[in-house]
């Protein structure tokens, strides 16, 4: 089987790792692989966003399955292109990917389908948005409607702060086109949960729920990032809660997309806030999450490949399941000094050979090979996953391994999973 993975971050490294275990004889290809993916996949020297060239390449190379990692090519229509050329592709059409690429669209769809989410209004006009902020007051959340690499949401404590955020988007065009429309939404309180649902557009197979840590600093302080670490399982994500998420969030959303001529085949990621009034949607993504994938796939006891193949080939996943292994996994992201602001690249990375083991996995994100050595090439550099019988054990393994990896300016959080540990300490379920 010839499989192409589009994308070259930690998520895609984890996908390649899992697929190579599911089918050791598969021939794996990846677009511009990072330093860690290079050992698992042959390089395709085409950018993930050059969707025409990639579709042509996949057809010429008779690729049996293309798995699309990032949201940008999906929003550009990569799945539509591949499908047109007859290449089975895992990932939604551009129309269905709007669930992530337009927050305004996602919110309207949720409202119509009765899916629980924060109250909101959308604006293109600055004065109208400013007037609305004065009316609703703070705390409030201001979001660029389009894709902004996880940086387009501003949680505002005051109306002044929210006004500045709205101006930066609607007057200063800080997020370009993505911020020409803003969503102003009600602030929700609670713990966050990421739920991945593999779907054929109608049926869902949910994977292990996990929790991301978006802020740069320990104790969830400082600016938002793409994600600094994750863990799973999450004890408050009970089977009953997951059932509620399936019935109140996932299935109605899929039905609404299908009714809108945008059936969703791929991975629907529900970012949830577990509020006192039940789970509410913070956002949808149209792809695997990063760094949650680096936890969810190591925790997956059953193969992923048959589900991807079935979905990509237009079949049904009714009756299919996914099993998680016992224990827990936790990943710590090592980032470049300065991230999520500006940072330097090209720093040599040292990973002692005995760091990786059956229970410690080092997934590469922003790494490259330069002059035969491994160097940094992005903001998030590595995701170090520990797997153990308990979360405590997984955390110990992840942090101990992160400590042994070195590059100039490396920063990482040492408290991933802290809410779970606080819960355990307080004796709460």
Query: Does residue number 192 form part of the binding site for ligand AMP (CB under 6 A)?
Result: yes
Query: Does residue number 418 form part of the binding site for ligand AMP (CB under 6 A)?
Result: no
| Closest residue to ligand AMP, based on beta-carbon distance | 153
Q: With contacts defined by CB under 6 A, name the span among 185-193, 195-203, 388-396, 414-422 that binds ligand AMP.
A: 185-193
Nearer to ligand GLY, 88 or 379 (CB): 379
Query: Does residue number 214 form part of the binding site for ligand AMP (CB under 6 A)?
Result: yes
From CA 323, how far away is CA 320, in angstroms rounded? 10
Partner from ligand GLY, ligand AMP, none contacting 188, C-beta within 5 to 8 A by type: ligand AMP
Query: Does residue number 205 form part of the binding site for ligand AMP (CB under 6 A)?
Result: no
Residue 54: left if φ>0, alpha if ψ -120 to 50, beta else—which one?
alpha
Listed in sequence order, the residues at least 6 apart from 120 whose beta carbon sits closer than 8 Å to its beta carbon are 107, 183, 184, 185, 186
Q: With contacts defined by CB under 6 A, name the span among 43-51, 104-112, 183-191, 402-410 that binds ligand AMP.
A: 183-191
For 112-128, give the DSSP string.
Answer: HHT--B--EEEES-HHH
**Cβ contact 73:286 at 8 Å:** no
Residues 369-408 that bind ligand AMP (CB under 6 A): none
Nearer to ligand GLY, 181 or 290 (CB): 290
Query: Does residue number 141 form part of the binding site for ligand AMP (CB under 6 A)?
Result: yes
Nearer to ligand AMP, 217 or 396 (CB): 217
Q: What is the largest CA-CA distance in the chain?
A: 61
Binding mask 253-292 for ligand AMP (x = CB under 6 A): ------------------x----------xx---------
Partner from ligand GLY, ligand AMP, none contacting 331, C-beta within 5 to 8 A by type: none
Nearer to ligand GLY, 92 or 289 (CB): 289
Q: With contacts defined by CB under 6 A, name the span among 6-14, 147-155, 232-240, 421-429 that binds ligand AMP.
A: 147-155
Nearer to ligand AMP, 16 or 295 (CB): 295
Q: With contacts defined by CB under 6 A, name the span among 51-59, 180-188, 243-251, 375-383 that binds ligand AMP.
A: 180-188
From CA 364, how far away is CA 371, in angstroms rounded? 18
Q: 3-state SS string over 37-86?
A: HHHCCEEECCCCCCHHHHHHHHHHCCCCEEEECCHHHHHHCHHHHHHHCC
Residue 67: HSE in the Cβ half-sphere, 13 Å Cα cutoff? 27
The dihedral through the CA atoms of 34, 37, 38, 41 has a sign that is negative
Listed in sequence order, the residues at least 6 apart from 232 whose beta carbon sits closer than 8 Å to its beta carbon are 208, 209, 210, 211, 292, 295, 296, 299, 328, 329
In the complex, minimum distance from the CB of residue 214 to ligand GLY, in angstroms, rounded to a whole number: 7
Q: Which of 53, 98, 58 is nearest to 75 (CA)?
A: 98
Nearer to ligand AMP, 283 or 415 (CB): 283
Query: In degrees to the nearest 10, what's the CA dihedral of 124, 268, 202, 261?
Result: 30
State the residues that interact with ligand GLY by CB under 6 A: 150, 212, 227, 285, 289-290, 292
From CA 421, how far away is CA 425, in angstroms rounded? 6
Binding interface with ligand AMP (CB under 6 A):
118, 141, 143, 150, 153, 155, 185-188, 192, 214, 224, 271, 282-283
């Amino acid at each position: 089987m010839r499989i192409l993975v589009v994308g070259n971050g930690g998520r895609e490294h984890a996908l390649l790792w899992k697929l190579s275990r599911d089918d050791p004889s598969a021939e794996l290809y990846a677009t511009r692989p990072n330093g860690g993916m290079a050992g698992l996949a042959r390089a395709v020297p085409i950018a993930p966003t050059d969707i025409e060239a990639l579709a042509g390449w996949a057809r010429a190379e008779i690729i049996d399955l293309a798995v699309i990692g990032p949201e940008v090519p999906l929003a550009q229509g990569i799945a539509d292109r591949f499908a047109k050329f007859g290449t089975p592709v895992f990932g939604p059409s551009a129309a269905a990917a709007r669930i992530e690429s337009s927050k305004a669209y996602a919110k309207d769809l949720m409202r119509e389908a009765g899916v629980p989410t924060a109250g909101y209004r959308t604006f293109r006009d600055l004065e109208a948005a400013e007037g609305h902020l004065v009316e609703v007051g703070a705390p409030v959340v201001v979001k660029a409607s389009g894709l902004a690499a996880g940086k387009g949401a501003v949680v505002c404590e005051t109306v002044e702060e929210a006004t500045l955020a709205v101006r930066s988007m609607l007057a200063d065009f800080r997020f370009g086109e993505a911020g020409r429309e803003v969503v102003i939404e009600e602030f929700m309180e609670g713990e966050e949960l990421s739920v991945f649902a593999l779907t054929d557009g109608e049926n869902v197979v949910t994977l292990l729920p996990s929790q991301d840590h978006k802020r740069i600093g320990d104790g969830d302080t400082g600016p938002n990032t793409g994600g600094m670490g994750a863990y799973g399982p999450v004890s408050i994500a009970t089977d009953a809660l997951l059932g509620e998420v399936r019935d109140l969030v996932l299935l109605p959303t899929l039905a609404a997309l299908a009714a809108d001529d945008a059936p969703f085949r791929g991975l629907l990621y529900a970012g949830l806030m577990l509020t006192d009034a039940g789970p509410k949607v913070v956002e949808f993504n149209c792809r695997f999450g990063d760094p949650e994938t680096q936890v969810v796939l190591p925790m997956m006891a059953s193969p992923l490949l048959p589900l991807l193949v079935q979905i990509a080939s237009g079949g049904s996943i009714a009756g299919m399941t996914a099993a998680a292994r016992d224990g827990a996994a936790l990943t710590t992201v090592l980032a470049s000094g300065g991230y999520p602001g500006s940072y330097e690249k090209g720093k040599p990375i040292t990973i002692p050979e005995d760091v990786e083991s059956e229970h410690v996995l080092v997934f590469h994100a922003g790494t490259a090979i330069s002059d035969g050595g491994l160097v940094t090439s992005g903001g998030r550099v590595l995701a170090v996953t520990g797997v153990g019988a308990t979360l405590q054990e997984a955390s110990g393994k992840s942090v101990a391994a992160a400590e042994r990896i070195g590059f100039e300016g490396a920063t990482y959080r040492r408290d991933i999973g802290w809410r779970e540990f606080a819960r355990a300490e307080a004796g709460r379920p």
